[in-house]
Structure 1
Amino acid sequence: MRRYICILLLLLCLATIEAQPKYEVRAAWVTAVYGLDWPRTRATTPATIQKQKDELIDILDKLKTANFNTVLFQTRTRGDVLYPSNIEPFNSILTGKVGGNPGYDPLAFAVEECHKRGMECHAWMVTIPLGNKKHVASLGNQSVTKRVKDICVPYKNEYFLNPGHPGTKEYLMKLVREVVDRYDVDGVHFDYLRYPEHAPLFPDKYDFRRYGKGRTLDQWRRDNLTEIVRYIYKGVKAVKPWVKVSTCPVGKYKDTSRYSSRGWNAYYTVYQDPQGWLGEGIQDQIYPMMYFQGNSFYPFALDWQEQSNGRQVIPGLGIYFLHPDEGKWTRDEVDRQINFIRKQGMAGEGHYRVKYVMDNTQGIYDELVDNFYAYPALQPPMPWLDKVAPSAPTELKVIPIESGYTELTWKPSTDNDAQNAPMYVIYASNEYPVDITRSENILAQSIRTTSYTYAPILPWTTLKHFAVTAIDRYGNESVALQEK
């Protein structure tokens, strides 16, 4: 009996691996605030600059090994940033000093290193909160509270941008435009695009009297946030339409017919209307912060998917609760949530935070490598932005090299988007033609050259047949060019 149980468990495990989707967002938040995930070293000398870079490389290498494909890299925290900006100062976490130049551009470095590994890099930007009084004071005259004080308000010993002031959306768009113009980011990801929780005394009465126009205070506040989302979405698309725009709203939209939100939700508690944003088409993705278990997760995940308007819903999973200092979750809860996300056809999942992936908390990293993310996955397409696939590559040449290595070269594809050359996906198997619908046949993705060197794990594991497709930045994939 014991033998049969072991065989059954093995078959179930293999079935889970086989069932992996070809298209799936696999994201992790890399948190810079307080150096929670990165960096641990302050960049003050050439040696410590390199060490700080190496810390990020280590994170990205481990994510790549686990077949993650999306990095949400914290780019703005509380009124300070992790790139050389003309608007806000460098975050002190980089050097130990507010405004201190770390001797390199962390965002440019993160984008370059992600792209080397075939991963997307999204600029994660905290929007409305500006930090407590001590933090704001530490920024001195570089603080937005001094430079553009009309759009800032104090509330409960903290400062916030005022969503009810028309200048707030323009200020945020200046920051976003700076990032999107200068960097080859794949997405911009907005955090805390909401009012403080349960904030009836938030100091916006003057703006409400001026701009309310007969609406209730609650609806006016929701409309303020929606207008910021709309303004930024349209602004990004006018510059680089392929750049994904996303937010991480509160994990429960509001009460559902299946289950109550128990008085804590996006719509009523913090005045967000993310389902309205999806319906209007001013989001490409949302990462609802679904750091819950049981009935506080599954009914609300279904609700997000049912109201997605075809956009990508990527639940944020609270893997930090696997650590005994944070919560009492067991890893099977995360396993069930990923299985549920896949069964419901959602676009993928995000892991908060990357530290707990890196630390293999309760074996989460091993489980992803061995099971859920055993094979690579491509980014889901965005047909609402572009439906036209690139032309197929041509003239594939496969040249065996010693020790089982194989050199692949091909002629480039063309795409309807003249601003971006197509990228390439490499497939291989021992069967001809190579089945490109199967995720286990993906060797590499987002290749930005017209050559690739295949290095088998061991010489006797060398795969026999190869195929190449072209893919654009909207996720549209060409037909395959098969090795003849």
Structure 2
Amino acid sequence: MIWFYLCGTLSLIAAETIKPGGNAWPSREFRGVWVATVANIDWPLSKHDSPSRQKSELVSLLDKLQELNFNAIVFQIRSVGDAMYQSSLEPWSEYLTGTQGKAPSPFYDPLHFVVNEAHKRNIEVHTWYNPYRARSGSTSRHGLAPNHMAVKLSQYAYAYGHNLWMDPGAKEVQDQCYNVVMDVVKRYDIDGVHMDDYFYPYPVSGHDFPDSTTYHAYTRSGGHLPRSDWRRKNVDDLIQRLYAGIKATKRHVKFGLSPFGIWKAGVPSGIHGFSSYSGQYADSRKWFDEGWVDYMTPQLYWQIDPPQQSFTHLMDWWLEQNTHKHHFYAGSYAGNVVHKHWPVEEIRRQVEETRRRSDKLSLGDVFFSAKYFRDNSKGLSDMFKTQLYTSPALAPVMTWLTTSTPQAPSGVTVSTGKVNWQADTTGEVRSWAVYRFAADYWNLIKVFNNATLSFAPDHVGRYAVTAVDRLSSESDGVVVSVEASHIIG
């Protein structure tokens, strides 16, 4: 429970009285967007752009997301066994410099850059990895860097469909994926690790995935699982291992997954479509049920009303699988306002439906993808700004990851034109949250980064300042009264 302090004396205003009012609701919500780098979908706009232009594009995108009150990005840093960051394990991405293995010149590290810039804007950075895809749109190994996994582990790299794919059944491939993720966790100040729906590849009609050699090696060593169960176990083992490794290294780093939205065709009743359980060997329900993820974001890329793949029908089923009471954030395809000519009101309805289920730990949304908000496609950004994300929100607290809260702000005073407070000396504060009391509610009106130590109120009334740590745990608040004489202008 958070208590507010007024002039150093415990007030009677408890945390539960901070009830969001009107457009300020909710003050806690995960508001994320995928930033895809593969094939330059969202960023960089061109692999031939200069580093200065790429950085400028990224800053502009973050500014736009901050303006729209998003608080998280899921940033793709490994799409085809490459790196959108400085790595000793894998080559620089072709999508960054035009040539795989070639460093940016003049040099910069995009991941270090985006973490710093996003945190300045109170935006979490969840790094996004594709574990087994080695090349997209080509099966050739021509042009791959010497330290690419399809070169180093060439015996486990297979042409399948139009892509080059690594074998999830090979321990060396699993180790490569695990080591890459853990290297990033150790070296960068990220907020989360994220994987999407690419495990075993989506099946190509008439062609089984060519992993007979690794499966036969498994059976010769005494394994008895049928191939389908063995494939699922390979994926299970990586997911479980990653969760354990991340928590042992940096407990505060969140682990999330965004699998294909249908676990099995016919589950729940009335749902038709591709079965990721048997098609990709992804037992995503198990990962949620076992608590191997901090949040689950299934890709519910369908509309609400068609019954065969209903956004809400699938969401309700997923929420029932959350036995560990972790978080659920719905994955929504915002780009369908362009590609399938959805009305933007469909996306508004989807956000409203996720909010209606907050008591079941449906606590936010992640949208594919960033460019539709950057470009205001079909008025999407306008709608979010005026109807959905009209005020800031803090990310929901993951109570199983934190047991403490930061200290309350010190030195909170009101002087002509400003509310001021002192700098954090503990190293725990990521942000400062400012509330204003109006119409019987404490409304969250501003979130500032930890370098900001004042703000200029534009209304008289009572304000509260809290300290927020990297896991969005919030301190006691300090309440001050702003009078007309304090306001300039």
| Fold-level similarity (TM above 0.5) | yes
How far apart in 1 are the matches of 2:235 and 2:250? 22
1:318 aligns with 2:321: no
Look up the match of 2:14: none
CA-to-partner distance for each residue in 1:171-190, whole Å, 9 max, x for gaps? 11111122111111111111
Counterpart secondary structure, 1:121: strand
Q: Distance in 2 between matches of 1:20 and 1:192?
A: 31
Cα deviation for residue 455 of structure 1 reads: 4.0
**2: CA distance, partners of 1:121 / 1:54:** 18
Quote the Cα distance in structure 2 between the aligned partners of 1:252 and 1:463. 51
The one of 131, 134, 144 aligned to 1:139: 144
Instruction: Supply the distance in 1 between the matched residues of 2:31 and 2:117 (Cα, whole angstroms).
Output: 17
Q: 364, 368, 372: which one pairs with 1:352?
A: 368
Q: Give the TM-score taking structure 1 as reference length.
A: 0.86
Q: 1:473 aligns with which of 439, 458, 470?
A: 470
CA distance in 2, matches of 1:375, 1:121: 20
Distance between the aligned counterparts of 1:185 and 1:275, measured in 2? 26
The DSSP-based 3-state class of the residue aligned with 1:111 is: helix
Partner of 1:4: none
Residues 20-40 of structure 1, C-alpha deviations (whole Å, 9 max, x = no match): 212111111111112111112
In 2 relative to 1, CA 347–151 (structure 1 residues): closer, same or farther, beyond 3 Å?
farther
Correspondent of 2:414 among 398, 408, 422: 398
Deviation at residue 363 of structure 1 after TM alignment: 1.2
- Residues 76-225 of structure 1 mapped to structure 2, 5 A cutoff: 76-102=78-104, 103-131=107-135, 132-133=137-138, 136-198=141-203, 201-211=208-218, 213-225=223-235
Task: For structure 2, list consecutive stretches of 5 or more residues without a partner in the other structure.
Answer: 1-19, 482-489
2:428 is matched with: 421
CA shift for structure 1 position 19: 6.8
User: Per-residue displacement from partner, 1:398-423 (whole Å, max 9, x unpaired)?
Assistant: 3334xxxx151136476xxxxx6233
Q: How does 1:36-115 map to 2 (within 5 A)?
A: 36-42=41-47, 48-102=50-104, 103-115=107-119
Q: Write the letter of the residue equivalent to 2:283.
A: D
Q: For residues 351 and 160 of structure 1, what CA distance do their matches in structure 2 show?
A: 26
Query: Is 2:256 aligned against 1:246?
Result: yes
CA displacement 1:368-408 (0-9 Å, x = unmatched): 0011000111111111222332332333223334xxxx151
Q: How does 1:252-401 map to 2 (within 5 A)?
A: 252-255=262-265, 258-293=268-303, 294=305, 295=307, 296=309, 297-309=311-323, 310-323=325-338, 326-345=339-358, 346-401=362-417
C-alpha spacing 1:16/1:435, structure 2 compared with 1 (3 Å):
closer
Aligned-residue offset at 1:151: 3.9
Deviation at 1:98, TM superposition (A): 2.2
- Of 443, 447, 462 in structure 1, the residue corresponding to residue 446 of structure 2 is 443
Mapped partners of 1:304, 1:93: distance in 2: 34
Query: Corresponding residue for 2:16?
Result: none
Per-residue CA deviation, residues 448-470 of structure 1 (Å, 9 max, x unaligned), is 24x523145xxxx3454332222
Partner of 1:483, secondary structure, is strand
Change (3 A) 1:135 1:187: farther
Letter in 2 for 1:290: L
Q: Secondary structure at the match of 1:237?
A: helix
Root mean square deviation, CA, Å: 2.4
Higher relative contact order (CA 8 A, sep 6+): 2
Q: Is the 8 A contact 1:423 1:471 kept in 2?
A: yes
Structure 1 residues 321 and 252: CA distance shift in structure 2, 3 A: same
Residues 17 and 374, structure 1, Cα contact 8 Å, conserved in 2: no
Q: Which moved more, 1:225-234 or 1:461-470?
A: 461-470
Q: TM-score, normalised by structure 2?
A: 0.85
Q: Distance in 2 between matches of 1:232 and 1:111?
A: 21
Q: Quick one: distance in 2 between partners of 1:383 and 1:16?
A: 25
For 1:222, give the aligned amino acid: R
In 2, Cα distance between equivalents of 1:482 and 1:60: 31
1:26–1:348 contact (8 Å) kept in structure 2: yes
Deviates more, 1:139-148 or 1:328-337: 139-148
Question: Among the aligned pairs, what percent are the same residue?
Answer: 30
Separation (CA, whole Å) in 2 of partners of 1:41 and 1:159: 23
SS of 2:193's equivalent in the other structure is: strand
Offset of residue 138 of structure 1: 1.7
Q: Quote the Cα distance in structure 2 between the aligned partners of 1:141 and 1:257.
A: 44
Q: For residue 129 of structure 2, give the secondary structure of its aligned residue in structure 1.
A: strand
- Tell me, in whole angstroms, the C-alpha distance in 2 between the residues paired with 1:312 and 1:334: 21
Preserved contact between residue 253 and residue 300 of structure 1 (Cα < 8 Å): no
1:228 is matched with which residue? 238
Read off the aligned partner of 1:442 and give its amino acid letter.
Answer: I
Q: Number of paired residues?
A: 446
Residues 134-143 or 50-59, more deviating: 134-143
Mapped contact 2:23–2:390 kept (Cα < 8 A): no
Q: Is contact 1:383-1:474 (8 Å) kept?
A: no
* Structure ranking higher in helix proportion: 1
- Structure 1, unaligned runs of 5 or more: 1-14, 415-419
